[in-house]
């Protein structure tokens, strides 16, 4: 049975970083709606979508679901499972995902990365992402080998437009209002991980959860 793993947590809790490492280690496909939207924005940097994302608001559910369904249809190998990072973010999205999971005959597991607002702000303020491949770095905790350049593809590192302190607070508020209800929604499929430690320590705990889930599958 295909495993669909959802990383849930406030902006800055490390969903992308942890999901990326897990996807590489377990050979699972990673689907980050935030990365997909940022990629789409490169072709339309001043459009409606760009305004929504840079303001820290949520993209309308219909648009998100259209993107997720299209990506699932076109994107490759799901035999080892799928990791969603940044999706679902509303109950409506979760209901739609339930239907997708049913059609795929898959199983959902949720990892909730728990982190307080103060620490999230500190983390996000230091975040830099690659303008091409979306690899995430952090000043001063995870520096690239050459300043301002991605180790992976050599492109420039940038700050996200929605990573200012004001936007982080807005996104935190949006999370509490629209996404936090998913913790109750998924209560029977959810494990909590303390995301306040350094990424390697968080990873060790996330990895343990993934191994336990994989054993449950067999
Ligand atoms: P992220 O990289 O996950 O922090 O997402 C960046 C931004 O993309 C969010 O602040 C939203 O504007 C948009 N976004 C990403 N995923 C979703 C989603 N599942 N639902 C609505 N908006 C989303």
pLDDT in tens, 134-191: 889 998 888 999 999 999 999 999 998 888 889 999 999 999 999 999 999 999 999 9
What are the pocket residues of ligand 1 if the criterion is a CB atom closer than 6 Å to any ligand atom? 11, 33-34, 37, 52-53, 56-59, 64, 86-89, 93, 162, 171
Residues catalogued as catalytic: 15, 89, 127, 160, 171
What is the token pair recorded at 13?
């809790």
Amino acid 217: pLDDT: 62
Q: Between 164 and 218, whose confidence is greater?
A: 164
pTM of the shown model: 0.92
Give residue 90's pLDDT. Answer: 98
pLDDT at 79: 87
In the sheet that 29-32 helps form, which strands lie side by side, from edge to edge?
29-32, 82-85, 3-9, 107-114, 190-194
Q: Which of 39, 59, 171 to mutate to test the pocket of ligand 1 (most atoms within 8 A of CB)?
A: 59
Query: What pLDDT, in 10s, does the model give residues 39-86?
Result: 988 888 889 999 999 999 999 999 999 999 999 988 678 889 999 999
Domain 3-116+179-217 in CATH 3.40.50.300? yes
At 216, the pLDDT band (50, 70, 90 cuts) reads: confident
Counting from 1 in the atom list of ligand 1, the atom nearest the Cα of 93 is 19
Q: Which tens digits make up the pLDDT trace of 12-30?
A: 999 999 999 999 999 999 9
Question: Which residue has a Cα nearest atom 19 of ligand 1?
Answer: 87
* Domain boundaries along the sequence of the chain: 3-116+179-217
Please tell me the distance between residue 218's alpha carbon and the centre of ligand 1 in angstroms.
33
């Amino acid at each position: 049975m295909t495993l669909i793993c959802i990383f849930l947590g406030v902006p800055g809790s490390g969903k992308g970083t942890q999901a990326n490492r897990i996807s590489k280690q377990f050979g699972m496909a990673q689907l980050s709606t935030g990365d997909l939207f940022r990629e789409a924005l490169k072709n339309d940097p001043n459009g409606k979508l760009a305004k929504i994302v840079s303001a820290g608001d949520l993209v309308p559910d219909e648009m998100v679901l259209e993107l997720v369904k299209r990506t699932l249809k076109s994107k490759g190998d799901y035999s080892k499972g799928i990791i969603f990072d940044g999706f679902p973010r509303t109950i409506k999205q979760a209901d739609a995902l339930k239907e997708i999971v049913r059609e795929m005959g898959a199983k959902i597991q949720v990892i909730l990365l728990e982190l307080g607002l103060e620490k999230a702000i500190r983390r996000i303020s230091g975040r830099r992402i690659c303008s091409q491949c979306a690899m995430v770095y952090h000043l001063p905790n995870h520096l690239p080998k050459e300043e301002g350049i991605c180790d992976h593809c050599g492109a420039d590192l940038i700050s996200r437009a929605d990573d200012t302190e004001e936007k982080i607070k807005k996104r935190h508020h949006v999370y509490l209002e629209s996404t936090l209800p998913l913790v109750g929604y998924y209560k029977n499929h959810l494990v909590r991980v303390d995301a306040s430690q350094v990424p390697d320590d968080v990873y060790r705990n996330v990895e343990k959860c993934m191994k336990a889930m994989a054993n449950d599958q067999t």
